[in-house]
Amino acid sequence: MRTVDVLIVGGGPAGLAAAASAKKQGIDNILILERDKELGGILNQCIHNGFGLHTFKEELTGPEYAGRFIDEVLKLGIEYKLGTMVMDITKDKVVTAMNREDGMFEIQAKSIVLCMGCRERSRGALNIPGYRPAGIFSAGTAQRLVNMEGYMPGKKVVILGSGDIGLIMARRLTLEGAKVQVVAELMPYSGGLKRNIVQCLNDYDIPLKLSHTVVDIRGKERLEGITIAEVDNTGKPIPGTEEDYECDTLLLSVGLIPENELSRNAGVEMDPVTSGPVVNESLETSIPGVFAAGNVLHVHDLVDYVSEEATKAGANAAKFVKGELKGAGKDIKINAVDGARYTVPRHICVENMEDILTVRFRVGAVFKDSFISVYLNDERVQHRKKNVMAPGEMEQVILKKDQLLSYPNLETITVKIEKE
Amino acid sequence: MKDIVVIGAGVSGCAIARELSRYKADVLVIDKCEDVCCGTSKANSAIIHAGFDAAEGSLMAKLNVKGNQMMDKLAEDLDIPFKRNGALVVCIHKEELPGLKELYDRGIANGVKELKILSKEEVLKMEPNLSDNVEGALFAPTSGIVCPFNLTIALAENAAVNGVNFQFDTEVTDIVKKDGYYVLKTNKGDIETRYVVNAAGVYADKIHNMVSNKKLTIVARRGDYCLLDKTAGNHVSKTIFPQPSKMGKGVLVSPTIHGNLIVGPTAIDIEDKEATATTKAGIDDLIGKAGLSVKNLPMRQVITSFAGLRAHEAGHEFIIEEVEDAKQFIDCAGIESPGLSSSPAIGEMVADILKDLMKLENKDNWISKRKGILNPSELSLEERNKLIKENPAYGNIICRCESVTEGEIIDALHRPIPARSLDGVKRRTRAGMGRCQAGFCSPRTMEIIERELGIPQEEITKSGGNSKIVVGRTKE
């Protein structure tokens, strides 16, 4: 069985950054396994711009952003296999994968970085009643059809869900000559970035109906129409608010789910809130030497943060291989309460921290003129005002190692949203 | 002039076709849809019932028990998965416990083997996720689970290999009785045949009433289902039925042969025989009722919901006979549950009727066995690598959720009854059947269909007719 020092599952933005980072830490025996025909992951179908503002201080398209990382991986001479599906990962870090050339093969990895990304929630998961005709697509599938294959999914479109891909596709399909009639969002707020609402809906006069959902789907063969209705504050449709739309296409942009079947089978502990692995300050999962980064860990809003996170995961995987990642000290749990839904990482060993640790999280509702607070035990040590916080955008707090080390009897760290 | 035309390529029509393929006769199966298994056969509980439910002495009871007994050999011959996982009829009201004994007695009278009444302790030991209110259960070890697509397709393929012809997208609009033969008027022209088998499911009344003055009424009785992710597939190991009560037959919870969990059906009589739309009320009803016999059902794991239509005849009995006032016309009507379970016996019964009427002779070279689509995940590592070396398409995963390879999809497109649509591929290979519900694989599968069958992507459908996936090219 072949042995690899750092094996990276997935050649998207997370995998590419993790690989480059591990290489720069002096690890040569690295292998990226990618299931698609090329490196770059989902960025390859994101042909709109707006990527890389943080990382490169310029606006790139998805393929351009991916291209910069691909170039680096190629320049660093990192090995990768395309068209290769990872079938299984064991807790002992034996990875089974398959492709056309090598067949099915096993690799013993010293460390693994999970970079499988996420998938879209489907209609079935929502249990939308009605017929099951052609013409119902997840927004990402439609994006692939339009941007990669050159086909139009339809001409008269309704979009359910205001996730970023749905918003981007509202604009994309409009530019391709389709009529996007409405975007319905179940929640009283959008799931996407503010800038996407402005640039993709408002600029094209596409209405966004908050607190609305699809309650019926018509058309036996191809979609013929849908009905949307307003929902009450428990998410139940309000009778009498139904509106019918004639359409041949319904796009769903109703959430992303980290793709963790492999992690689960390996026995990695999962966080029920993020649907991603529970990780520590090194982005290491419950299996020593198995790290996670990017959308497989928690769904990100900006790819820049994916790259940043994966750079760290790759470096820590390299340290693990070199025996430089210290063993566990005392574990401090980070509690996310009062509006903060989760944190990544969820627990930290202060001794293993770098000088500064960025803790990322999302809020569970829209908060205006509120504060992000950090408590060490019962003492508030950070209190930062934000004008608006929304579930569609990630938030962060910075923890400093020296402050935590000097804190007597530190038991818990709490991140919460406070009105005052 | 055909010898026999079978109208309807559901599980009954295909089982009949396979049995008829033993004999020297020119047989044609026609269906208004684009493929076999597009009506009632594709959307049901996928259970091979033990046979204790049907009324004693009924044809339903007889064919159910017989069909159940035939399944092992049939599954082996046709290379399809079948598992006797057993069924439990669960009683949750102490005062209804005597009802279990009634079911037991009926089962014994129907010829069901190995039935047993279990105490609360015994049944909870067997199925820990049953409701805490369980008081006892009837255990039927011979109950089984099967894939209705696999079964129907396998029957059809085996029939086709033995010379039966299949013609799809062909809808019968009228039937004209001639001297000693019939003319079927269809959207694809006239078809002349000496004998007709009416296996038209929910439309069996319409077809029957074209030739007979003794009118038949088939009511479409809709059943809504939820299918759960494979992560929920072990929630129960047996098929769990609530005790039938005056409130109706109730909602079952069962593992499927592929490892998912199925919950359903509702029972709603409807006018429109095409109305396979689920409703919110139906799904809500389903979820409420399923929770009565099984606890902690992980309904958040639903990956899809769907509705099927049972072909319900007022007398709740199978009608399998030569029509009295239409000689040479054989009804196979009212085939609702346990129709899937009975299908092997239905096939045999109809073929026997025709054999007697037509004095059919056996073929010398009838092929009883059929080989299914190769499933590489069942091979050893060595065998699998040998396969990939010979045909690299088996190393290329197209459907990530169900681990379906390009090799399997190519196979499905070149079978004796080939898939022509995304759903056709899905029913044969499970590509698109998993938790992402074809989001990932459908563009990839479309490319393979275009390449293998020469159908331009703009013309590829989800399930025939006007169900095209894309509407054209983007701007140049």
Structure tokens given for A177? 């000559």
- Using a CB-CB distance cutoff of 8 angstroms, which residues of chain A are in contact with residue B423? none
What is the arithmetic mean of pLDDT over B328-352? Answer: 97
Contact between A134 and B469 using a beta-carbon 8 Å cutoff? yes
Q: Kindly state whether residues B136 and B225 are assigned to the same domain.
A: yes
Going by pLDDT thresholds of 50, 70 and 90, the confidence category of residue B244 is confident
**Tens-digit pLDDT profile for residues B268-295:** 899 999 999 999 899 989 988 888 899 9
Residue B97 lies in a domain: yes
Query: Of B118, B110, B114, B112, whose CA–CA distance to B141 is shortest?
Result: B114
Q: Kindly state whether residues B140 and B224 are assigned to the same domain.
A: yes
Locate the chain A residue with the closest alpha carbon to B443.
A145
Q: Kindly state whether residues B298 and B382 are assigned to the same domain.
A: no
Domain range for B380 = 376-459
Q: B49 an active-site residue?
A: yes
Buried b (16+ CB within 10 A) or exposed e, B395-426: bbbbbbbbbbbbbbbbbbbebebbbbbbbbbb
The whole-number pLDDT of residue A123 equals 86
Contact between B397 and A98 using a beta-carbon 8 Å cutoff? yes
The whole-number pLDDT of residue B323 equals 98
Query: Which amino acid, one-letter code, is at A235?
Result: G
Is B363 in contact with B32 (CB distance < 8 Å)? no
Q: Kindly state whether residues B101 and B227 are assigned to the same domain.
A: yes
Does any CB of chain B come closer than 8 Å to the CB of residue A146?
A: yes
- Find residue A179's DSSP bridge partners: A156
Locate the chain A residue with the closest alpha carbon to B440.
A141
Asked whether residue B321 carries a pLDDT value surpassing 80, the answer given is yes
DSSP element (H, E) containing A195: helix A194-196
Structure tokens given for B97? 């416990």
Q: Kindly state whether residues B384 and B261 are assigned to the same domain.
A: no
The whole-number pLDDT of residue A326 equals 76
Residue window 353-392, chain A: list those with CB within 8 Å of chain B.
none
How far apart are alpha carbons A147 and A145 in whole angstroms?
A: 6
Contact between B280 and A146 using a beta-carbon 8 Å cutoff? no
Residue B62 lies in a domain: no
Instruction: Indicate the residue among B307, B325, B358 that finishes a domain.
Output: B307
Instruction: Specify the 3-state DSSP secondary structure of A90.
Output: coil
The whole-number pLDDT of residue A99 equals 97
Residue B189 lies in a domain: no
B230 secondary structure, DSSP code: G
Chain B: give the shortest CA distance to residue A162, in Å: 18
The alpha carbon of B151 is separated from its chain's Cα centroid by a whole number of angstroms, namely 7
CATH number at residue B275: 3.30.9.10
How far apart are alpha carbons B405 and B401 in whole angstroms?
A: 11
The whole-number pLDDT of residue A127 equals 84
How far apart are alpha carbons A362 and A282 in whole angstroms?
A: 20
Interface test with B, best of A35, A122, A228 (most B CBs within 10 A): A122
Q: Kindly state whether residues B301 and B384 are assigned to the same domain.
A: no
Q: Kindly state whether residues B136 and B233 are assigned to the same domain.
A: yes
Cα B217 to Cα B54, B201, B207, B210, B337, distances in angstroms = 20, 12, 11, 12, 17
Chain B: give the shortest CA distance to residue A136, in Å: 9
Task: Indicate the number of domains in chain B.
Answer: 2
Does any CB of chain B come closer than 8 Å to the CB of residue A234?
A: no
Residue B349 lies in a domain: no
Residue B74 lies in a domain: no
What is the arithmetic mean of pLDDT over B232-251? Answer: 86
- Using a CB-CB distance cutoff of 8 angstroms, which residues of chain B are in contact with residue A177? 475
Residue B288 lies in a domain: yes
Instruction: Indicate the residue among B291, B307, B323 that finishes a domain.
Output: B307
Size of interface A-B (CB pairs under 8 A): 134
Contacts of B85 (CB under 8 A, 6+ apart): B143, B144, B145, B237, B238, B239, B254, B255
Asked whether residue B82 carries a pLDDT value surpassing 70, the answer given is yes
Q: Kindly state whether residues B141 and B254 are assigned to the same domain.
A: yes
| Burial category of A51 from C-beta neighbours within 10 Å (exposed 0-12, middle 13-18, buried 19 and up) | buried
pLDDT in tens, chain A (420 residues): 999 999 999 999 999 999 999 999 999 999 999 999 999 999 999 999 999 999 999 999 999 999 999 999 999 999 999 999 999 999 999 999 999 999 999 999 999 999 999 999 988 888 899 999 999 999 999 999 999 999 999 999 999 999 999 999 999 999 999 999 999 999 999 988 899 999 999 999 999 999 999 999 999 999 999 999 999 999 999 999 999 999 999 999 999 999 999 999 999 999 999 999 999 999 999 999 999 999 999 999 999 999 999 999 999 999 999 999 876 678 999 999 999 999 999 999 998 899 999 999 999 999 999 999 999 999 999 999 999 999 999 999 999 999 999 998 999 999 999 998
Does any CB of chain B come closer than 8 Å to the CB of residue A83?
A: yes
Q: Kindly state whether residues B120 and B250 are assigned to the same domain.
A: yes
CATH number at residue B428: 1.10.10
Query: Of B228, B231, B223, B230, whose CA–CA distance to B249 is shortest?
Result: B223
Give all strands (DSSP E) within B199-348, no chain letters. 218-228, 239-242, 252-255, 261-264, 268-270, 302-313, 319-323, 326-333
Interface test with B, best of A132, A216, A224, A273 (most B CBs within 10 A): A132
Q: Of the candidates A119, A132, A140, which has its C-beta nearest B306's C-beta?
A: A132
- For residue B8, report the phi and psi dihedrals to the nearest 5 degrees: 115, 120
Residue B264 lies in a domain: yes
Going by pLDDT thresholds of 50, 70 and 90, the confidence category of residue B135 is very high
Is B336 in contact with B39 (CB distance < 8 Å)? no
ipTM at complex level: 0.93
Structure tokens given for A87? 């079938």
Which of B49, B208, B235, B312 is labelled catalytic? B49
Is B280 in contact with B171 (CB distance < 8 Å)? no
Q: What is the pTM of this model?
A: 0.95
Q: Kindly state whether residues B395 and B279 are assigned to the same domain.
A: no
Q: Kindly state whether residues B97 and B224 are assigned to the same domain.
A: yes
Chain B: give the shortest CA distance to residue A111, in Å: 24
The whole-number pLDDT of residue B291 equals 84
Buried b (16+ CB within 10 A) or exposed e, B377-390: eebeeeebbebbee
CB atoms near residue B73 (< 10 Å):
11
Residue B164 lies in a domain: no
Q: Kindly state whether residues B122 and B230 are assigned to the same domain.
A: yes
The whole-number pLDDT of residue B67 equals 98
- Find residue A80's DSSP bridge partners: A32
